Amino acid sequence: MRLTTVGTGTAAPHPSRVGAAHLVHADRVVLLLDCGAGATHRMAALGLDWSHITHVAVTHFHPDHVADLVMLIMGWRWGQLPARSAPVTVYGPVGMGAFLERLAAVYGAWLLAPGFPLTVRELTTQDVITLPDGVELSMLPVPHTTESVAYSVVHGRTRLVYTGDTGYDDALGDWAAGCDLLLAECSLPDALAIREHLTPRQVGALAARANAQRLVLTHFYPPVETIDIVAEVAERYAGPVVLATDGWSIEF
């Protein structure tokens, strides 16, 4: 499995971080986790093959996680030659279908009928979706917005868990238990803590509860970058920690 952190930023405009987007390669599966503002052009700038993404999974409907989904579908329809013909499935929490229908009412019916097969599927906690080559996708509700979810991606004996946006949650730590890579938001310092996001100490506690083999942090608001994130995480988590940047990549 290969992970590329396409966008590691937030709603705060940042000179080097665009909205949340993370690309996972697992054999024939090319899965985009979230598609926040600026993600499509960032993929092009990084030389990533956005045109052959096979699946998209959205964690929630805030624009720093989903604003560029329209741009991506538009790029598949009009931004490549030859035009796309391969099918795409967009996964999301309950409400994903209605969300895209509202966007189509603004941008046009082409959004849901872009000239290639586009399937929208809403996931529940009971669903374990089998993608090509045995890749498994599942989700867990997390405390952020009413629809927010985390995702698990399993390929063979390798597991990635992506928190999306979340506050601290024991249930999330238990669900992520033993994962090879925990891709977690790390939004705010303790001084600005709110229940809808994680601080470095909270994400350290989450990774420790999950016994994650590796912790990769993303979704940094500018104030959290002024503190020693790694040191605060290390107060509660002893494993390796990476502060991801746009374009950072790892095979695991």
| From 27, 34, 49, 64, active-site residue | 64
List, for residues 165-198, the tens digit of each pLDDT value.
999 999 999 999 999 999 999 999 999 999 999 9
Residue 17, pLDDT score: 98
Q: Give the C-alpha distances (Å, rounded to integers) separating 81 from 21, 77, 84, 117.
A: 24, 9, 8, 17
Side chain identity, residue 22? H
Q: What is the pLDDT of residues 87-109, one digit of tens each?
A: 999 999 999 999 999 999 999 99
Residue 90 has a pLDDT of: 98
Beta bridge partners of 65: none
Q: Candidates 3.60.15.10, 3.30.1490.190, 3.40.50.150, 3.30.70.20; correct CATH number of 2-243?
A: 3.60.15.10
pLDDT band at 202 (very low <50, low <70, confident <90, very high): very high
**Tens digit of each residue's pLDDT (9 = 90 or more) over 38-82:** 999 999 999 999 999 999 999 999 999 999 999 999 999 999 989
- Whether 27 is a known active-site residue: answer no
Which residues contact residue 75 at a Cβ distance below 8 angstroms, ignoring those fewer than 6 apart? 40, 50, 51
- Alpha-carbon distances, residue 116 vs 32, 76, 77 (angstroms): 18, 9, 8
